[in-house]
Structure 1
Amino acid sequence: MPIDPRLTRLDENRVRVNNPHNVDTTLFANEQVPVESAAVTELIELLALQENVQQVAEAAPDSFDQAPEIVRVAVTPDFHKARGIPVGTVLATRGFVVPQAIGSDINCGMRLHTTTLKSDDISANLDGLETAFRHLYFEGGRNIPMTRSQRHAMFTGGLEAVLDATANLHEGLWPLVRELGAEDQLDRIERRGSLPAGRVFGLSDFMGTDDRLSRDGQIGSIGGGNHFVEIQRVEKVLDGTVAHAWGLKPGTVTIMIHTGSVGVGHLCGGHYRDVVRKIHPEKLKHPANGVFVLPEGARHREHAETFWDALHNAANFAYANRMFLAVMAVAGMREVFGDRVGCDLVYDAPHNFVWKDEVDGEEVVLHRKGATPARGFEAMAGTPFAHYGEPVLVPGSMGASSFVLVGQGNAESMASASHGAGRTLSRGEAMRGFDEEFRKFMEEFRVVTPTDLRRADVRQRPDILGKKLEEIKQEAPFAYKGIGPVVNTLTGAGIARPVVELTPLMTIKG
């Protein structure tokens, strides 16, 4: 890694980010991890929040209950530029929230299941599976009915509440949800997939009526960008004891899901981008980087309370969304292989969220922007992971290996790890060139999209075919960092330890 003059290497895996704001900031990256200069610039501009929040406190002292401050920042190896706040940023603050730190994709996260299939089953039935998956995910095959009161339960109480509210619902995918044991596996989801909210924010029309079941276009949707449902196999076991405990045997077929709160999160995130601009003191200039804060003091208490409700509404939806995407994958497999297909949940956790947590013995607001929790065994007491540590799901790029690791509770990283390999090319850059690499990739790997690329009539429409191929190309492996140096950094820094390597068999993309 060529060293940026604003960075000082501390050891093989840690770099100090020098900044004029005196914020304790550590980047975890070994010599093989590329670090883009534009991301460093964006990060240092973000740290100007330290001065900005103090100016807000001087202009409106009752905005805060305590002296506002950035307590600490850690940056994961998949660090890359985004929109104001780099992906891979872990930001601990006192006295205020930064809604823009997680944007609109609230509770974007990962979910992993093991199945009873072997990889040869998948490779021998790719066409049948593609047809079944396309119908379920993109051609009206999903069937997830709910009443208004059941959706209300989902938004205000998460998976615990909605599973209870639908206990006697026997339509659509609900019987399969119960057959697969969703209620018995809640302790394998971060905070049981159930966050309390006192109200439902801005979703009245979406919720439907209580006199009939209705179906919506959001639940069970993958979303765009780098979101996916991927069928993988356990390629290599790297920690036999933990892998055995988690059911990750060599050759086992797994289902990995990467998505969040889709349109629901967009509504909540967009609203709070507007709120924080409006409450910024009129006498102060807007922050140069466009990042505003939401104080938690008396002046803005109502806004803060509504923020946490809206955040939890969207997060609860995202947990349910990932659950259904997994159930749909099993339904598609059963269309091909019959009822012998079963699955067990390994883990589900967000990597784009805000927590009230503790750092150095102090309660803070902990923002993880594209960074997953990686807590050690002590912090996982009372869960199935109390003897090992938290599962850490680190996907590679489409078509590349992913890894399951076990968290070590590293204090300096604020128990946070990478959520993937991280982009090395912007989507625009990935579109330019790399034609031969992309052609070979598409020949060797099965990608299921809403457009059936196998159809002769589609292949005779270069406008339709070209548009879909452009979308896939933006997420192809050459657009991302290699996953190896990222995993090596997490291991060397004592953040997380590798358990298994997963290789992809086919990917479903929105």
Structure 2
Amino acid sequence: MASGNLVRRDANRLELLRSDDIPVTVFANEQVPIEPVAVAELQAMLEVQETAQAVYQACPDQFHTEPRLQKVAVTPDFHKASGIPVGTVLQTEGFVIPQAIGNDINCGMRLHLTDLSAGKVESHADVLETTFREMYFEAGRRIPMQWKHRESLLLDGIRGLFDTVDSAFDDGLWSYFHRTDRQETLARIDRAGSLPAAKIVGLESFLGEPDRVHRDSQIGSIGGGNHFVEIQRVERIIEPQIAHAWGLRPGQVTVMVHTGSVSIGYASGSHYRSQLRTHYPSSLLHPANGIYVLPLASPQEGTFWDAMHNAANFAFANRMFLGLMAWASLEKVLGEVAFPLLYDAPHNMIWPEQSDGRTVYVHRKGACPARGFEQMEATPFAYYGEPVLVPGSMGASSYVLAGNGLEDAIHSAAHGAGRQISRGASMKKYDREFDEFMKAFRVVTPVDFRRQEIARRRDIAAKKLADLRQEAPFAYKGIGPVIETIENGGLARPVAELRPIMTIKG
């Protein structure tokens, strides 16, 4: 018997015992720590099936079919969050759970390849650090947008930008956007980075004014927490055939982006979550776990999909621009650089999918899609499976894997190492470990610790160091056991290990 009602079924998976017939599989080998508080949160979250049934009994006309939470999979980076643990994957029919994707809608990973060697980048590390800081934090980014561009972005994502931004509009980062190939770019983003929305919900102020060019503080922003842009080197090739097909080679420099919809997603999510609470049947007690369901024939359904797609489309573009900012910075220092996209995929989203001829809804909160080659038909990844991008903690290795489409895992894998201690707990000890980490690792932040005037302002330095401390390696699980579970559990196959050269943190 493991933590709570968890029972180990084999070396890489456990089962959460329940009185109903909802299968709940937790993927974790014996070296992956599991928080009892996360298990308790998972158990409380599963009461959503009872909520769905109660709403169905009260308002059957709001459902196309009887609601069912069909199965649950938990990835090895599983840890407590706020109501629904990170690393939770749900498959439902007849209803969706908007809270099951968190506040940062379409938070995800993006990976670019380059033709640079690690040695060349490392030999220019100091000037690159300065250049990255100017680009990301000192008004170096230039992303002017017109009203029509923002509207197309929110309504149709990356495809909308290709359709509306003329090649003559090439100020700032748009010159790099026009250097990317439309067909190749869209083919290497999940759902082509374009989720159709019928209208813009609650984000009208973001559009600006017609016939004027505007800049804003959101597009091209990394965000806080565990978000980053990282310059990496390919440390090790694990699966040579796939690595060759995907353009990965030893010593090559890559750029990984991890962020989402930042405050845009928070505004969209807050809007439709408040709608769910407002329209919850008055005859029912509100859910004890605070998790509300959305019936898929309710009047609120269209607003939900539009709001989620608005935010998701923004997040696709946000990751794209963060990548272009890295490309522009590298070229400023090192000359012309090739910068092809390997893949971009969300890990906080709801995906409609087909199962046995029926539409089901896969919710991922902090979990990467890891679909197999059959599910990736008609994409560049039809032969090997979906690229799965799994970063370690700051300073640790990240991995590129190929998805297996494992049914028991709902075609998913971990999205990182996963926290093992809370942000608050990380501030209470580990002083020596943090000092050693900061001496050994190059982190680019808005605060340049190399400047003498910053060294004299201990208040400024201390605040940024506190932010970094919460994301330091000791706060996270080791990436090794997580990757071993993913591989040995059949979720995905490791292709390459990437080691950080420098990490850019907001």
Farther-moved stretch of structure 1 (207-216 vs 39-48): 207-216
For the residue of structure 1 that corresponds to 2:263, the secondary structure is: helix
Distance in structure 2 (CA, Å) of the matches to 1:361 and 1:251: 46
Deviation at 1:5, TM superposition (A): 4.1
Equivalent position SS for 1:112: strand
Q: Separation in 2 of the partners of 1:170 and 1:473?
A: 39
Report the residue type matching 1:102 in the other structure.
I
* Aligned partner of residue 343 in structure 1, secondary structure: coil
Structure 1 gap ranges (5+): none
| Residue equivalent to 1:140 | 139
CA distance in 1, matches of 2:148, 2:184: 23
Q: Which residue of 1 aligns with 2:236?
A: 236
CA contact (8 A) 1:23 1:47 kept: no
CA offset at residue 377 of structure 1?
0.6
Question: d(CA) in 2 for partners of 1:188 and 1:392?
Answer: 12
1:258 and 1:191 map into 2 onto residues whose CA distance is 18
AA matched with 1:326: G
Q: In 2, Cα distance between the equivalents of 1:284 and 1:199?
A: 31
**Aligned with residue 349 of structure 2, among 346, 353, 360:** 353
Q: Which residue of 2 aligns with 1:200?
A: 200
Report the Cα offset of residue 137 of structure 1: 0.6
Confirm or deny: 8 A CA contact 1:112 1:254 kept in the other structure: yes
| 8 A contact 2:444–2:504 mirrored in 1 | yes
Q: Residue 55 of structure 2 aligns with which residue?
A: 56
Aligned match of 1:312: 309
Query: 1: distance between equivalents of 2:257 and 2:9?
Result: 35
Query: For 1:127 and 1:266, how far apart are their aligned partners in 2?
Result: 35
Q: Is the 8 A contact 2:347 2:368 kept in 1?
A: yes
Question: 1:360: how far off?
Answer: 5.0
Amino acid of the structure 2 residue aligned with 1:122: V
> Mapping of 1:468-507 within 5 angstroms?
468-507=464-503
Residues 160, 183 of structure 1: 8 Å contact kept: no
> Which position in structure 2 is the counterpart of 1:28?
27
1:416 aligned to 392, 404, 412, which one? 412
Q: Describe the SS at the equivalent of 1:130.
A: helix
Deviation, 1:20, is 3.7
Structure 1 match to 2:45 = 46
1:336-347 equivalent positions in 2, closer than 5 A: 336-338=333-335, 340-347=336-343
Could you tell me whether the CA contact under 8 Å between 2:106 and 2:349 is conserved in 1? yes
Shift of 1:357: 1.0
AA at the equivalent of 2:41: E
After TM superposition, give the deviation of residue 181 of structure 1 in Å. 3.2
Moved over 6 A (4+): none
Q: Displacement of 1:280 after TM fit?
A: 1.2
Q: Deviations over 1:370-392 (max 9, x none)?
A: 11110111111111101110000
Flag structure 2 segments of 5+ consecutive residues without an equivalent.
Answer: none
> Which of 318, 322, 325 is the aligned partner of 1:328?
325
TM-score normalised by the chain length of structure 1: 0.97
Q: Which residue of 2 aligns with 1:71?
A: 70
Q: Is residue 462 from structure 1 mapped to residue 461 from structure 2 by the alignment? A: no
What is the DSSP-based 3-state SS (H/G/I as helix, E as strand, rest coil) of the residue aligned with 2:408?
coil
- Which moves more between the two structures, 203-212 or 101-110? 203-212
CA-to-aligned-CA distance 1:96-140 (integer Å, 9 cap, x gap): 111111122000000001111111122211211111111111111
Query: 1:266 corresponds to which residue?
Result: 266
Tell me the secondary structure at the aligned position of residue 178 of structure 2: helix
| Maintained 8 Å contact 2:67/2:93 | yes
Superposed, 1:83-98 pairs within 5 Å as 83-98=82-97
Deviation at 1:330, TM superposition (A): 0.8
Number of matched pairs: 505
Instruction: Look up the equivalent residue of 1:244 and give its one-letter code.
Output: H
Matched, 1:429 2:425: yes
Residue 184 of structure 1 is matched in structure 2 by: 184
Distance 1:183 1:335 in 2: 27
TM-score normalised to structure 2 length: 0.98
**CA RMSD in angstroms, aligned pairs only:** 1.2
Q: Which residue of the partner structure matches residue 383 of structure 1?
A: 379
Counterpart in 2 of 1:246? 246
Q: State the SS of the aligned residue for 2:243.
A: helix
> Is 1:211 matched up with 2:208?
no
**C-alpha offsets along residues 237-268 of structure 1, whole Å, 9 cap, x if unaligned?**
00000001111100000000000011110110
> Would the aligned equivalents of 1:359 and 1:414 in 2 still touch at CA under 8 Å?
no
Task: Tell me, yes or no, if the aligned pair for 2:106 and 2:311 is still in contact at 8 Å.
Answer: yes
Q: Shift in Å at residue 63 of structure 1?
A: 2.4
**What is the Cα deviation at residue 182 of structure 1?**
5.2
